[in-house]
Structure 1
Amino acid sequence: MTDVALRAGPLSGTRIAVLMESDFYEPEIFYYRHRFAEEGARVDFLTRLWGQSELTFTGHEYRAPFTVDRGLEGLTPAELRDYAAVIVPSGMVADRLRYTEDVERLAPATELLRRAFAEPGVVKGIICHGLWLASSIPQAVRGRKVVCHNNLVGDVRNMGAAYVDQDVVVDGDLITGRTGEHHHLFARTLVDLLIQRKAR
C-alpha cells in the first residue's frame, strides 16, 4: 500500500503501527491511514506475512482490498520502541491474528502485543473486538480499565480487566474504544495522548 503524504504537524517524526488482517472495518483503517498523517505521523501496517513479501486483505463491509508488506514477526526490541503506539483495530483482525499452529505457544501477533505491554513508552490502542488478541495474555490487562464491544464484556471481565461503560477509556499507556464506529473518537484521544507525551 502506497504511503500517504505526511503533513508537518505535532506528531512529525512519530511512527504508529496498526496490526492488519482480513475482515477489517474499512472506514476505521482508511481513517487511520489519513488521520495520523495529518498530524505528521507515519503509519505502518503490520501483519503475519507467512513467508510472503506482501499480502492483500479484504475488508468486512465492502470487500475493499488492502495490501500489507511489513511483517510483525522478528521485530527487534529497538524497532518496537520506535513506535509511539501499536493499534489493534476492530473487526475480525484480532481473531485472525490470534491463530497459532501450536496451542502451547503464543501467536506471533499476541507475542508482539505482550512485548508492547512491557514497554510503557509504547501506547497500546485496542478497539472493539481487538481485545481478543489479549485473551492469551490476560495478565497484560488484569486490573486495567477498558471498554470493548458489548459482545466481549464477559471475556474482558474473565481476563481480570475492569469494564468501563464509556466510548473511549484511557488507563495510562492503554487506550481502548467501544466499537469500530468510535474510531474517530479513539484516534482523537490517541493523537492527544501522543502529543502530550511528545511535549514531555
Structure 2
Amino acid sequence: MRKKIAFLVAAEGIERVELTEPWRALKDAGHDPVLLSPGTGEVQTFDHLTPSVKFPVDRPVADASVDDFDALVLPGGVANPDALRQDEESVTFVHDFVGSGKPVAAICHAPWTLVEADVLRGKTVTSWPSLQTDLRNAGATWVDQEVVTDGNLIFSRNPDDLPAFTKTLLAAIG
C-alpha cells in the first residue's frame, strides 16, 4: 500500500544525503515522499559545509496537515533544524505529528526541532553527539547507538547510520 511521507526541511543547511537516501528508499518501496518547508521555491542541501543540490518544495508546511501523511522524516544538517525550530508552523506541525502516533524519524541534528516541539520528555534518543546536553535538558535519555526507536520516534546519529535508519523507517511505515 502506497504511503505519503512528509520530509520537513528549512530553506538551507540540509545535509543532502540525509534527505536523498531515505527519499530514494521510500520511492523504491513504492511510497510518495513530499517535501515540506516553511517557504516555497527551492531548498539548498549541503555536503557537510559545501553547498550541493537544490530541490523544489512541494508544499509549504502552513498548507500541510498531519492527516495528509503517514510518516514524517526530519533530515539533519546543522542549520536546517536550527532554522526549523524558529518557525512556529514547523514546530506545531512536528508537535502534532508526534502526538498523532504516526512514525517520526529524525537523524543527526534533526532532534533539535523535537526539542523545540517539547515532545522528548521520558524518551530514549540518539543524535549527533553535540546535541546530548540539549536532549537531556529536554527530558530525554541520550544513548550512542546507530538507531533508536521509542514509541513512534526513530533516531539515528549521522549519515553512516542511514542504512539502519532507513530500514527502521521502512519497517515502521509497513
TM superposition score normalised by structure 1? 0.79
Q: 1:98 aligns with which of 67, 85, 108?
A: 85
Query: Taking every aligned residue pair, what percent have the same amino acid on both sides?
Result: 26
Report how many residues are paired. 170
**Counterpart check, 1:113 vs 2:67:** no
- Give the structure with higher Rg (CA): 1
**Counterpart check, 1:83 vs 2:69:** yes
Give secondary structure in 1 for the equivalent of 2:62. coil
**Counterpart check, 1:155 vs 2:134:** yes
What is the match of residue 149 of structure 2? 170
| Structure 1 residue 60: Cα displacement | 4.0
What is the match of residue 143 of structure 1? 122
What is the match of residue 189 of structure 1? 168
Give secondary structure in 2 for the equivalent of 1:118. helix
CA distance in 1, matches of 2:63, 2:99: 17
Q: 1:16 aligns with which of 5, 8, 14?
A: 5
Give secondary structure in 2 for the equivalent of 1:184. helix
1:51-75: CA deviations, max 9, x gaps?
Answer: x4x2342424442222213111132
Q: Is the 8 A contact 2:34 2:58 kept in 1?
A: no
CA distance in 2, matches of 1:56, 1:133: 18
CA distance in 2, matches of 1:69, 1:82: 13
Q: Partner amino acid for 2:85?
A: R
Change (3 A) 1:90 1:72: same
Q: Is the 8 A contact 1:90 1:180 kept in 2?
A: no
1:14-43: CA deviations, max 9, x gaps?
Answer: 111111221111122221221111111100
Deviates more, 1:23-32 or 1:59-68: 59-68
CA distance in 2, matches of 1:178, 1:56: 23
Q: Counting strand residues as a fraction of each chain, which structure ranks higher?
A: 2
Change (3 A) 1:56 1:145: closer
Q: 1:63 aligns with which of 44, 51, 54?
A: 51
CA distance in 2, matches of 1:154, 1:39: 36
CA distance in 2, matches of 1:63, 1:90: 14
Q: Partner amino acid for 1:110?
A: V
In structure 2, the gaps of 5 or more residues are none
In structure 1, the gaps of 5 or more residues are 1-11, 101-106, 196-200
Give secondary structure in 1 for the equivalent of 2:44. strand
CA distance in 2, matches of 1:56, 1:190: 23
CA distance in 2, matches of 1:56, 1:90: 13
Q: Is the 8 A contact 1:23 1:60 kept in 2?
A: no
1:61-117: CA deviations, max 9, x gaps?
Answer: 4422222131111323xxx123121111110311121224xxxxxx21111101111
Moved over 6 A (4+): none
Change (3 A) 1:56 1:124: closer
Change (3 A) 1:90 1:180: farther
CA distance in 2, matches of 1:125, 1:136: 16
